[in-house]
């Protein structure tokens, strides 16, 4: 959680950011399934 907050402040690349978000949520909430959708014209998730 601390690591993730740190990365939020530093402004990492979108992939890392979303990955971190999903990771933190998975850890804290323990959901049976998780997925994330990012609108394509916003996210720069390619590459």
Partner 1 sequence: MVQLMRRRRAEGTESAQVEETASESKTRLIDAIPIPMGDPLEALLLSNGGPVVLRDLEFESAALDGLRQSGVELVVPLIGQGELLGALYLGPRLSDQPYSTDDRRLLGSLASQVAPAMKVAQLVREQQAEAKERERIQQELQVAALIQQTLLPKELPAITGWQVDAFYRPARAVGGDFYDFIDLEDGRLGVVIGDVTDKGVPAALVMATCRSMLRAAAQRHSAPSAVLAEVNDSLVPEIPPAMFVTCLYAIIDTGAGEIVFANAGHNLPYVRSNGGVIELRATGMPLGLMPGMSYEETSYGMGAGEVMVLTSDGITEAHSPEGEMYGFARLMGRVGKKTSEDDMLNEVVNDLEKFTGPDAEQEDDITLVVVKRTSSAQGAASTFLPLEGGVPLQDGGESEGPQVLARFSVPSEEGNERIAIAKVTAAIGSLALQPDRLERLKTAVGETVMNAIEHGNEFRSELDVEVEVCANDDTVSVLVTDQGGDKLIPEAAVPDIEAKLAGEQTPRGWGLFLIEQMVDEVKSTSNGGAHTVELVMNREGAL
Q: How far is the CB of 41 from partner 1 (least distance, A)?
A: 5
| Whole-number Cα distances in Å, 23 to 1, 29, 31, 41 | 9, 10, 11, 24
Residues engaged in binding partner 1 (CB under 8 A) = 5, 7-9, 11-14, 17-19, 21-45
CB of 2 to partner 1, least distance (A): 13
Nearest distance from C-beta of residue 3 to partner 1, angstroms: 12
Q: How far apart, in whole angstroms, are the C-alpha atoms of residue 44 and residue 15?
A: 8
């Amino acid at each position: 959680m601390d690591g993730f907050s740190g990365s939020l402040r530093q402004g990492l690349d979108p992939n890392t950011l979303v990955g971190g978000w999903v990771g933190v949520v998975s850890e804290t909430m323990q959901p049976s399934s998780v997925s994330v959708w990012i609108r394509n014209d916003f996210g720069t998730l390619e590459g």
